[in-house]
Amino acid sequence: MASPMRSLCSNPARYLQSFRLFLANSTEHQSMREFMERRLPDVIASIGNGKSTINILSVGGGAGEIDLLILSKVQARYPGITINNDVIEPSADQISKYKERVAETSNLENVKFTWHEETAYKYESRMNAEKKSKKWDFIHMIQMLYYVKDVPATIRYFHSLLEAQAKLLIILVSGTSGWEALWKKYGSSFPLDDLCSYVSCADVKRILDSAGLKYQLHELLSHMDITSCFIEGNEDGELLLDFLTETCDFSKTAPPELKRQVMEELRKPECSEKRDGKVLFNNNLSVIVIEP
């Protein structure tokens, strides 16, 4: 009998709703912001040397929160320089949020934004069809490799677009996170389609090592409050469960035994810790900075 479970990616509105709740309930962006404040200046220290324009490509830029922070760091390093910031983002809703954010942000006079409402794969196909291979001084792919069909090929393609002093920055869940524990055990039971797959830093490291690429690795601590997941019928809890399992309406459509096992797994120390009466899921991230 066919399972009634559907991939969360098949329902873009619910996906966005659960994703935004995940951001509100986790220290994800806080951890990234700390990295951008503390470590990014070193990463971008020479990307614009000798240039009159810096070209930045944001792959999966979302609503632009982290993109604008990255831009502020590039501006601080290269005051007054012209920056072309191209954004690949398939969600029209996220792009309109991004544009609102840009409109509300000062000091962006020297930044030219171009949005491409398409997936990374569509962008690559379009560039190949147009026989274009524009080079970039900085490319970042933040929490987006789960949504590409072919991870090694995607990394290879964007890496091939780096200028001589450029960097490719990837952020993904860490191999030591609760995601790894949950998905290594139950991923095959979740209804993944070709829109979405599980990949962690451990997988990307293997890809980079086999390609012989040079990279630096940084681990970021992060957690997500999943206490509401254990309150039967709680709407936020159900949305967070959907996000954790990439399943639309997981608590309503999952077989009872799978649901029981997943709920049990989420409480285990490999996934979460209990603190002040809350269940905090390990959302640790890895930042990988790849050399040209």
Annotation: binding site: 28, 283
Name the nearest CA neighbour of 119 among 147, 158, 150, 84: 147
Burial of 29 (0-12, 13-18, 19+ CB in 10 A): middle
Rounded-to-integer distance, Cα 90 and Cα 69, Å: 21
Residue 27 · residue 280 · CB < 8 Å: no
Strands 111-116 and 82-88, bridge-based pairing: parallel
The first and second tokens of residue 238, run together, are 């159900």
Rounded-to-integer distance, Cα 159 and Cα 151, Å: 12
Q: Which residues are annotated as a binding site for substrate?
A: 28, 283
210 Cβ contact list (under 8 Å, min separation 6): none
Rounded-to-integer distance, Cα 217 and Cα 55, Å: 23
In what helix (H) or strand (E) does residue 199 lie, and over which residues does it extend? none
